Amino acid sequence: MQHMASPAFKNCSDCPIRHRAVCAKCDSDELALLEDIKYYRSFSAGQPVLWAGDHMDFVASVVSGVASLTQTMEDGRTQMVGLLLPSDFVGRPGRSVATYTVTATSDLMMCCFRRKPFEQMMDTTPHVAQRLLEMTLDELDAAREWMLVLGRKTAREKIASLLSIIARRDAAFSTSNPGKALTFELPLTREAMADYLGLTLETVSRQMSALKRDGVIALSGKRRISVPDMDKLLFEAGDDSDGGFLT
């Protein structure tokens, strides 16, 4: 169940997303203003955070864990339209109704800011607005990248693209050992993968098996993936050889 919660750190200056989130450009004075209007909420894996159409009186940053943004049609077809990782922003200043459903994909900690005072800060402290613009432009690029995946890639390429993205993110955190096998935890069920990729969960399962059979990936358990040769995975994703990966 969702509850007010305390994170493992004391204040903003020790926050793990201090230098990547919407507050990244703030100086200590500005940070103090944010401290006043923030509170933490945590959710366990699988819990809904918000339903599309809900009233929201806050905006928030993901502190730890993974959340998903999804859109659903009346007949139940659903499409994931965003994967929210630590430092990503939820909500839209100036809009009090949620456009998308937000779900905690793993255990999740969010840093929430009360809407009204946050919107005032947007007007008064340019650093918040500047950082939010940068982040939104990055999100837009990511969304457009994903449109190519959804519109033009085969099922196998879609899977490889998703694994590349997650591997890339993980590589950024752990120490990169070039040439060595890269191993990471997959934070999504087969169904969530299918919803992200515009596929059925059966097709996801089949293509995962095929990639395993072909030696592109190896599985230990259901969720732990290891990639012996990152270039091979990127090739399967159909991206340019460089792909912007660690170059």
Partner DNA sequence: CGAACAATTGACCGAATTCAATCCGTGTGG
Partner DNA sequence: CCACACGGATTGAATTCGGTCAATTGTTCG
Answer for which of 73, 177, 178, 221 binds a second copy (CB under 8 A) is 73
| Contacts (Cβ under 8 Å, ≥6 apart) of 149 | 157, 158, 161, 197
Check binding of 92 to a second copy (CB under 8 A).
yes
Contact 96, 115 (CB under 8 A): yes
Please state, in angstroms and as integers, the Cα–Cα distance from residue 150 to each residue in 83, 157, 218, following that order.
Answer: 15, 10, 25
Check binding of 100 to a second copy (CB under 8 A).
yes
Nearer to DNA, 52 or 219 (CB): 219
Name residue, tokens 């120490």. 175
Nearer to a second copy, 18 or 92 (CB): 92
User: What span, in angstroms and rounded, lies between the C-alpha atoms of 164 and 231?
Assistant: 10
Answer for which of 19, 77, 116, 223 binds a second copy (CB under 8 A) is 77
User: Residue 154 Cβ, how far from a second copy at the closest point, in Å?
Assistant: 10
Of 136, 138, 142, 139, the C-alpha closest to 162 is: 142
Check binding of 106 to DNA (CB under 7 A).
no
Nearer to DNA, 7 or 198 (CB): 198
DSSP letter for each residue of 102-123: EEESSSEEEEEEEHHHHHHHHH
Build a one-symbol-per-residue string for 182-211: x at contacts with DNA by CB under 7 A, - elsewhere: -------xxx------xxxxxxxxx-xx--
Nearer to DNA, 24 or 219 (CB): 219
User: What span, in angstroms and rounded, lies between the C-alpha atoms of 79 and 94?
Assistant: 25
Instruction: For the sheet with 3-4, list strands across it.
Output: 3-4, 38-43, 108-114, 58-64, 89-90
Name which of a second copy, DNA, none residue 100 binds, using a CB cut-off of 5 to 8 Å depending on partner kind. Answer: a second copy
User: Residue 158 Cβ, how far from a second copy at the closest point, in Å?
Assistant: 10
Q: Which residues bind a second copy (CB under 8 A)?
A: 69, 71, 73-75, 77-79, 81-82, 92, 94, 99-100, 123, 126, 129-130, 132-134, 136-137, 139-141, 143-148, 150-152, 197-198, 238-240
